[in-house]
Amino acid sequence: MHRFAVEMLTTHEVCDETWSHAQAVLGMRCVVDLVGVLGYHGLISMTIKAFRIALPEGSDDPFPA
């Protein structure tokens, strides 16, 4: 999944080898879900950047435990 995600997010496509491996390991349904999750991640990231969403006031950690 990592290789698939990195390829998709950096080049906006995946090579045949990565595609075949992901499909063999995950199955087509999970590959479709993975592409959807990666697309949603891109949407949320662009929204946060476009509207310059800041951390909550007083917070310095975007991922509190």
Kindly state whether residue 41 falls inside one of the protein's structural domains: yes
| Predicted confidence (pLDDT) at residue 59 exceeds the cutoff of 90 | no
Can you give the residue range of the structural domain that contains 15? 2-50
How far is C-alpha 12 from the geometric centre of its chain's CA atoms?
11
**Residue 61 confidence (pLDDT):** 80
Q: Rounded distance, CA 56 to CA 37, Å? A: 25
**Residue 56 confidence (pLDDT):** 82
Query: What's the DSSP call for residue 53?
Result: P
- Say which residues have a Cβ less than 8 Å from residue 9's Cβ, sequence separation at least 6: 38, 41, 42
List Cα–Cα distances, 22 to 5, 10, 62, in angstroms: 10, 17, 31
Kindly state whether residue 61 falls inside one of the protein's structural domains: no
Task: Name the domain count of the chain.
Answer: 1
How do residues 9-53 score in pLDDT, each as one tens digit? 999 999 999 999 999 999 999 999 999 999 999 999 999 999 999
- Average pLDDT of span 54-61: 83
**Residue 52 confidence (pLDDT):** 93
